[in-house]
Structure 1
Amino acid sequence: MKTFLCVLIFWGSLSPLLAQDSTVVTNFKDTVSVKPDTSYWQRSFSGGVNFNQASFSNWTGGGVNSVALGAVVAARALYTKANWSWDNTADLQLGFVTQNGLTRKAADQIMLNSVAGYKISPKIDWFGSATFSSFFATGYRYSGLATGQSSFKVSNFLAPGQLTLAWGVAYKPSDWFALRLSPFAPRFTFLSDQGVRFSENAAGIPVRNPNAIAYGVAPGKSIRTEWLAFQLQASLIRNLSENVNINARYLMYANYKTLDAIDHRIDLILTAKVNRYLSTTFGVIALFDKDFIDVWQLQQTLAIGLVYNVSSFRKK
Structure 2
Amino acid sequence: MKTKLILSLAILTLTNITLAQEAKPKDKKKSVKVEKPDSLKLWKYNMFGSLSTTQSAYMNWASGGDNSISLNGIIRLKFKYENEKFFWDNAYNFALGMNVIFKDGSVAKTDDVINMQTKAGWKFGKKWSLVGEFGFITQFTHGYVADEVHFSSSFMAPGYYSPSIAVEYRPFEGFYVTATPLKGIITIINDQTLANRGAYGNKAADYDANGNILNLGEKVRYQLGAYLSIGYAKELTKSIAIDTKLSLFSNYFQERPQNIDVNFDLLFKFKINSWLSSYLMLAIVYDDDVKIPLGNDTYGPRLQLKQILGLGLAYTFKNHDFK
TM-score range, shorter chain: 0.7 to 0.9
In structure 2, what is the equivalent of residue 302 of structure 1? 309
Partner of 2:41, secondary structure, is helix
In structure 2, what is the equivalent of residue 281 of structure 1? 279
Contact 2:93 2:115 in 1 (8 A): yes
Separation in 2, partners of 1:90, 1:272: 20
Which of 114, 117, 122 is equivalent to 2:121? 117
Contact 1:239 1:245 in 2 (8 A): yes
The residue type paired with residue 111 of structure 1 is: N
> Is 2:262 aligned against 1:264?
yes
Separation in 1, partners of 2:173, 2:134: 19
Separation in 1, partners of 2:321, 2:220: 42
Count, aligned residues: 263
Separation in 2, partners of 1:94, 1:313: 26
Contact 1:244 1:273 in 2 (8 A): yes
> Is 2:232 aligned against 1:230?
no
Change (3 A) 1:178 1:35: closer
Percent sequence identity is 27
In structure 2, what is the equivalent of residue 93 of structure 1? 95
The residue type paired with residue 57 of structure 1 is: M
Deviation of residue 87 (structure 1)? 0.5
In structure 1, what is the equivalent of residue 111 of structure 2? 107
Contact 1:190 1:217 in 2 (8 A): no
Which of 64, 76, 82 is equivalent to 1:80? 82
Partner of 2:151, secondary structure, is strand
Q: Normalising by the residue count of structure 2, what TM-score does the alignment of the two structures yield? A: 0.77
Partner of 2:90, secondary structure, is strand
Separation in 2, partners of 1:76, 1:57: 45
Contact 1:167 1:185 in 2 (8 A): yes
Deviation of residue 35 (structure 1)? 10
In structure 1, what is the equivalent of residue 21 of structure 2? none
Separation in 2, partners of 1:191, 1:184: 23
Separation in 2, partners of 1:61, 1:224: 49
- In terms of fraction of residues, the more strand-rich structure is 1
Give a deviation string over 1:33-53, Cα, whole Å, max 9, x none: x99721110000000001110
In structure 1, what is the equivalent of residue 143 of structure 2? 139
Which of 242, 261, 273 is equivalent to 2:238? 242
The residue type paired with residue 71 of structure 2 is: L
The residue correspondences of 1:52-67 to structure 2 (distance < 5 A) are 52-67=54-69
* Higher CA-based Rg: 2
Contact 1:142 1:152 in 2 (8 A): no
> Is 2:213 aligned against 1:216?
no
Partner of 2:152, secondary structure, is strand
The residue type paired with residue 307 of structure 2 is: Q
Contact 2:234 2:321 in 1 (8 A): no
What 5-or-longer segments of structure 1 have no aligned partner? 1-33, 146-150, 198-209
The residue type paired with residue 70 of structure 2 is: A
Please tell me the root mean square deviation across aligned C-alpha atoms, in Å.
1.8
In structure 1, what is the equivalent of residue 318 of structure 2? 311
Separation in 2, partners of 1:112, 1:104: 24
Deviation of residue 314 (structure 1)? 6.6
Q: Normalising by the residue count of structure 1, what TM-score does the alignment of the two structures yield? A: 0.79
